[in-house]
Amino acid sequence: MAQVGHIDDGSLSPRRLDPYALTWRLPIIAWQVLFFVGPLLFMVAMSFFLVKNYVMQETFVFDNWAKMFSRNYFRDSYVYTLFLATLSTFVVSVLAFPASFALAFKVSDSTWRWALFLLIIPFFTSYLVRIFSWYVILAESGVINAMLSIIGLGPYTMLNTMFGTIVGYMTLTLPLVVVLQTFSLANIDRNLVQAAHNLGCSPWRTVYTVIVPLAKTGLIVAALFCFILSFGDFVSPYYLGGSKPPTLPILIIDTTKSGQQWPRAAVVAVVMMATLITIAFAAITLAYRKRTSR
């Protein structure tokens, strides 16, 4: 009987370590370890320390966790921060989609490039400066109320409100979301869109049944970036929202000022990181999950 030859495709053999590939990966690995994993582990460890007489002592106790989770203001701040970030993500994603759709499908290449350039320009200026610009615009004697007074309306209180906070979040995230959504929509195969039109789909149904599913990954990633930036922002809720009730970033600042309670502030920060990591993994899983065929 002839002996059947064995073909080794390497599928079961262990991979060899590629020194060349590892060399190029080392800088990003070292960066992540030094500036993300290391500080994160130290922050987790610090949450178990104690502060006595304004001096931090290296211990391993759960006092900080028990005190923070037993406080109503911590739970209220967490829920409020989560609500604001979710609301901001929804509002920004909805407002950004028409602009992204127009840039991807309705304008010329030259207009598309200029629009993206103009969307990137705000990131050349300080975010704090842009927020203070809104502080002047939204004030009771500001530009908006002055324009409304011409037609006999106002003045309306827009500063130190949830509305002011959302405006600040939009200032931070809207240009980025428009850019990410535009790139996602621009990569859609136009033949599929044309096929939907040829089969009798209305424009609205084409957007809902063809364009949005095809751009799902990019739309979810854009929303995820919006949520992460809004959830961790300190400037907008402090200067435009009045910090009452405080969000979690403001609570961190207040906690550190109260008797140098850095371990309790670390508890808040760890909870924020755990929340963001959980939501990020859930969003990425949803974004890259393939649709099951019926």
pLDDT tens, residue by residue, 63-94: 999 999 999 999 999 999 999 999 999 999 99
128: closest CA among 240, 255, 282, 247? 240
- Average pLDDT for 202-216: 91
% the chain with pLDDT above 90: 65
pLDDT of residue 199: 86
Is pLDDT of 281 > 70? Answer: yes
pLDDT of residue 14: 55
Is pLDDT of 292 > 60? Answer: no
pLDDT of residue 6: 45
> How far apart (Å, rounded) are the C-alpha atoms in residues 198 and 202?
10
DSSP 46-57: HTT-EEETTEEE
Q: Are 239 and 137 in contact (CB under 8 A)?
A: no
pLDDT of residue 291: 59
% the chain with pLDDT above 70: 93
Q: Are 96 and 177 in contact (CB under 8 A)?
A: yes
Residues paired with 230 in a beta bridge: none
> How far apart (Å, rounded) are the C-alpha atoms in residues 215 and 54?
53
What CATH number matches the domain at 91-288, 1.10.3720.10, 3.30.300.30, 1.10.10.10, 3.20.20.70? 1.10.3720.10
- Average pLDDT for 207-232: 95
User: 3-state SS of 172-239?
Assistant: HHHHHHHHHHHHHHHCCCHHHHHHHHHCCCCHHHHHHHHHHHHCHHHHHHHHHHHHHHHHCCCHHHHH
